[in-house]
Amino acid sequence: MKFNNKGIVISPKSKIGNNVRIGDNTTIYDNVIIEDNTIISNNCVIGEPINDYYYNDLYANPETKIGKNSIIRSHSILYAGSTFGDNFSTGHRVTIRENSIFGNNCRVGTLCDIQGEVKFGQYCWLHSNVHIGQDSKIGDFVFIYPYVVLTNDPHPPSNICNGPEIGNFSQIAVGTVILPGIKIGAHCLIGAQSLVGKDVDDYQLVAGNPAKALKDVRDLKSRETGESHYPWPKNFERGMPWENIGFDKWKKENGYD
C-alpha cells in the first residue's frame, strides 16, 4: 500500500536505478542518483536544494547519490550534494544537510539531524535523535546513541567551525556532548551524559560532567560475565562484517588495528 505512485514528483534530471521503489508524496530533485534495489519510502525529499534555490534563478542542484540496497524511511529529507554508500538506511524524519559523505552500511536513526559538511566511515550506526555539527569526522564502526551532540563552535557565536573527530570502533552513549575540536581515539567508550572537553586516548572509558578518563575499557568487567565486553567487536557480531569469521581474523585481513 505504500507504493501507489500517488503524488510522486521525480525530476527528469535524476537517475533512478533498477527495482527502485518510491513511496507516495516523495519528491526527487535534480541531479539525484539512486542505485539499484533501493527503497525511498513515503513523504521523503531527496536532493533538497540549498537556500540559494529560493532566491537565485541560475541555481543548479549539486549531485546527490544513494547507493544500492538502501532504505530511506518516511518523512526524511536528504539535502543535495551528499553521498550515501550502499546498504544505507534511515529511520523516520531524518534530516541530512548538504555535502555529507557516508561510507557503506551506515544507519541513521529516526529524528537524527546531520548538519552537513561531515564525513562518516563505514558501518556507522546512529541511533535516534543524534545531532552532528558541521565539520565532524567519524571513523568506521562508530555507534552513537540518542541525544548525543557533536559541537563545533568553541566561542558561540563565532566564525570558527571545528568539529570533533571520533576514532574507529568508539561508542558514544546517550546524552553526551562532545565539545569542539575534541579528538576521541579508537575503541573508546564514552559514558552516558558526559561532557567531553579533553582529547581521549584509544581504549579509554570516559564519563562524567566534566568527563574524566576512568579506566581502560579492557579492564571494565561485565556484571554478567565478569570479563570485559570490550573491545566490543570480539563480543558483538550481528550485522558486522566479521560475523561468523571472528573479529581477530577479520581485522588482520582488513587492515584494522
Position 170: which residue type? Answer: S
CB of 43 to its own copies, least distance (A): 7
Taking the C-alpha atoms of residue 156 and residue 170, their distance in angstroms, rounded to an integer, is 27
Classify each residue of 105-140 as buried b or exposed e, where b means 16 or more C-beta atoms within 10 Å of its C-beta.
bbbbbbbbbbbbbbbbbbbbbbbbbbbbbbbbbbbb
Asked if residue 101 lies in contact with residue 120, where contact means CB atoms within 8 angstroms, the answer is yes
DSSP state, residue 6: -
Chain centroid, CA 85 distance in Å? 11
Q: How far is the CB of 196 from its own copies (least distance, A)?
A: 10
DSSP 57-94: TT--PPPEEE-TT-EE-TT-EEETT-EE-TT-EE-SS-
Least separation in angstroms between residue 23's CB and its own copies is 10
The least distance separating its own copies from the CB of residue 149, rounded to whole angstroms, comes to 5
Nearer to its own copies, 16 or 195 (CB): 195
27/82 with CB nearer its own copies: 27
Query: Minimal distance in Å, beta carbon 75 to its own copies?
Result: 7
Nine cell digits for residue 9: 514528483
Sheet holding 95-96, edge to edge: 9-10, 27-28, 45-48, 77-79, 95-96, 113-114, 131-132, 149-150, 177-178, 195-196
Whole-number minimum distance, CB 140 to its own copies, in Å?
A: 14
Residues that bind its own copies (CB under 8 A): 1-2, 4, 6-7, 9, 11, 24-25, 27, 29-30, 39, 42-43, 45, 48-49, 53-54, 71, 74-75, 77, 91-93, 95, 110-111, 113, 115, 125, 128-129, 131, 143, 145-147, 149, 151, 154-160, 171, 173-175, 177, 179, 189, 192-193, 195, 208-209, 222-224, 229-230, 232, 235-236, 238
